[in-house]
Amino acid sequence: MSHPPKPHPEAVFHAHGGQLRMSEALEAGISRYRLYKMLDEGIIEKLATGLYRLTELPPISDPDLATVTMKYPKAVVCLTSALAFHNMTTQIPRTVSIAIPRDMRIPKLEYPPVQAHKFSNDAYHTGIESHAIDGIEVKIYDREKTLVDCFKYRNKLGMDLVLEALKLYRSSSKIELDKLLQYAKVCRVEKIMRPYLELSI
């Protein structure tokens, strides 16, 4: 009885958008030996431990966010990293800030540096948007949820960053006060935020 031919390794990568985790590659019939040979031959590159990508693909515009998302699909980009994505800060984040469910282990990556925050169930699931970055679906909190989270973590982030984010949000064309207050209730910072919102929005 003849066995069906194994799919070509590069074709398997293409079928997965050009990126594969080690576990996905093994499941698809690509051996560790073949994977390392592709790495040595320059056909694929290592993005992080156990995460590989075809080198023929165009460079990723935001490789840090894409790498963290591919490694940890449940991670949601938050706080300073989400502020930067939404153009609500003049600071350049030194780490990728992500929110994860409370029962998930803190992710560890060689690169990029990750700062993980465990959110309660309601806070974690509220305000998630999905953005395509070079064909990779990246989960990021929307502008309002990001601002609310910054108020929640104001003692760690510093009020200067929070107030700058509020100012940049206010200067944008679309302000959704109802959404801000709804998220503020979920994150239990409504009383803290209201005076700032009344003054600035």
- Sketch out the chain's domains with CATH numbers: 9-54 (no CATH), 63-200 (3.30.460)
Mean pLDDT in residue range 175-188: 93
Looking at residue 44, the DSSP 8-state letter turns out to be E
Examine the pLDDT at 123 and tell me if it is beyond 70.
Answer: yes
Examine the pLDDT at 1 and tell me if it is beyond 50.
Answer: no
| pTM: predicted TM-score of the whole model, two decimal places | 0.73
Q: Can you state the angle between helices 177-186 and 143-152, rounded to 10 degrees?
A: 40
SS (H, E, C) 79-124: HHHHHHHCCCCCCCCCCEEEEEECCCCCCCCCCCCEEEEEECHHHH
Residues 6+ apart with CB under 8 A from 27: none
Q: What is the mean pLDDT of the chain?
A: 87
Mean pLDDT in residue range 153-182: 91
Q: How far apart are alpha carbons 131 and 123 in whole angstroms?
A: 19
- pLDDT tens digits for 25-65? 889 888 888 998 998 998 988 876 778 888 887 766 577 88
If one compares 69 and 149, the residue with the highest pLDDT of the two is: 149
Looking at residue 134, the DSSP 8-state letter turns out to be T
Query: What pLDDT was estimated at residue 59?
Result: 67
Q: How far apart are alpha carbons 35 and 2 in whole angstroms?
A: 25
Q: Are 150 and 157 in contact (CB under 8 A)?
A: yes
Examine the pLDDT at 164 and tell me if it is beyond 70.
Answer: yes
- Residue 173's pLDDT band, with cuts at 50, 70 and 90, is low
